[in-house]
Amino acid sequence: MPEKITLTVIKADIGGWVGHSSVHPRLIETARKTLAESDLLVDFHVTHVGDDINLIMTHRRGVDSPEIHHLAWNTFLRCTEVAREMKLYGAGQDLLSDAFSGNVRGMGPGVAEMEFEERKSEPVIIFMADKTEPGAWNFPLYKMFADPFNTIGLVIDPKMHQGFRFEVYDLIENKRVIFSLPEEMYDLLVFIGAPGRYCVKAVYSKATGEIAAVSSTQRLNFLAGRYVGKDDPVCIVRCQSGLPAVGEALEPFAHPHLVAGWMRGSHMGPLMPVSLAQATPTRFDGPPRVVALGFQLANGKLIGPQDLFADVAFDQARRIANEIASYLRQLGPFEPHRLPLEDMEYTTLPEVMARIKHRFTKITPGAEKEVAAAREELGAK
């Protein structure tokens, strides 16, 4: 039996250069050097999107391996030391604990990983986003694995025609549920249409039972009890041979959808597909960006990457995203550009509410006369 390979992607924001726009080359080099010193990995690739460092690793130790997670944690700690030396912004902000405790889940970094047997050909796409939250993957994963207008393989590929199972997490109550598609499509949409709470964690093939996609689902504001930025999620998608073709996996991003995040994690904006060279969000610290790196796995080796959104075919998507961004920016602090109040819990809202709550009075029958009298009195003064 072929030995299984584990593909692990762990990301963290441990210091922005300049502000929240990018990662200093010294941090990337520190991360590469740290991973190269380890004998735990089959292969690795270090990159960044915006101000997030992304560690893409292959190994044979399975999902949630304490050794692999500890390696990533130590890598981020070393990078944090360099970030503090250079006084980079928000140095170590995604590291919410002082000590490693088995794995990095719940400690700040975002994690997406899967274990599987390599097929005869194993193309994978690593999607990495900045200035948004885990729910940003809901729409594209639905399009990839459930929408025949996006993925024609659902109609004409016998290996895909049975559909897929979607594992959905409730980030508020820490629960999960699995939906079988296409028969439970409408039930699924009830939940994943609310991406601030419900996130697609993983997708499985009904034909083979194999995992097809997995995402990170950490929400830093819930973990920290205060606002420390959105979560800049990552997602792994396997492609071809009974799974969406590479082009089908990329197609959802040709029409930018709105996601939460952007400036101070408190605004809606279009998710713009960009090349690595364009993954430096600066306009109002945005708009939100997504990068897609394609690899061929060969006995655990990462052959690549190919910078998939560098294609000129996505120029139109970037133009549309910029138009949407300009429209939304005109709304300033008004919804729907600014997030609803329930999503502003870790900003100034609680402090302002506590300060003026005594000024709110109950509206009762006949109150209109009291208000009118008060107005007359103010007018007389």
Q: From the centroid of its chain, how far is CA 192?
A: 14
What stretches of the chain show up as alpha helix (H) in DSSP? 25-36, 66-85, 138-146, 153-156, 185-192, 220-224, 246-250, 315-329, 349-356, 367-380
Length of the chain: 381
Phi/psi of residue 186, each to 5°?
A: -65, -35
Task: Name residues whose C-beta falls within 8 Å of residue 373's C-beta, 6 or more positions apart in sequence.
Answer: none
Dihedral of the alpha carbons of 327, 329, 331, 333, in degrees to the nearest 10: 160
What is the three-class DSSP state of 93?
A: coil
What single letter denotes the amino acid at residue 158? P
**Is 230 known to be catalytic?**
yes
Instruction: Single out the catalytic residue among 230, 232, 285, 307.
Output: 230
Summarize the chain as % helix, strand, coil (round to 5): 35, 25, 40
Instruction: Single out the catalytic residue among 64, 170, 206, 227.
Output: 227
- CA dist 12 and 204 (Å) reads 27
- CA dist 256 and 316 (Å) reads 10
In angstroms and rounded to an integer, the radius of gyration of the C-alpha atoms of the chain is 23
**Is 227 known to be catalytic?**
yes
- CA dist 242 and 252 (Å) reads 19
Q: What is the DSSP string of 270-286?
A: E-EE--GGG----BTTB
Instruction: Single out the catalytic residue among 11, 13, 231, 232.
Output: 13
- CA dist 65 and 115 (Å) reads 11
**Is 43 known to be catalytic?**
no
Phi/psi of residue 122, each to 5°?
A: -125, 80
Please give the C-alpha separations between residue 294 and each of 3, 75, 132, 138, in angstroms, as whole numbers.
Answer: 22, 23, 21, 20
* Residues belonging to the active site: 13, 227, 230
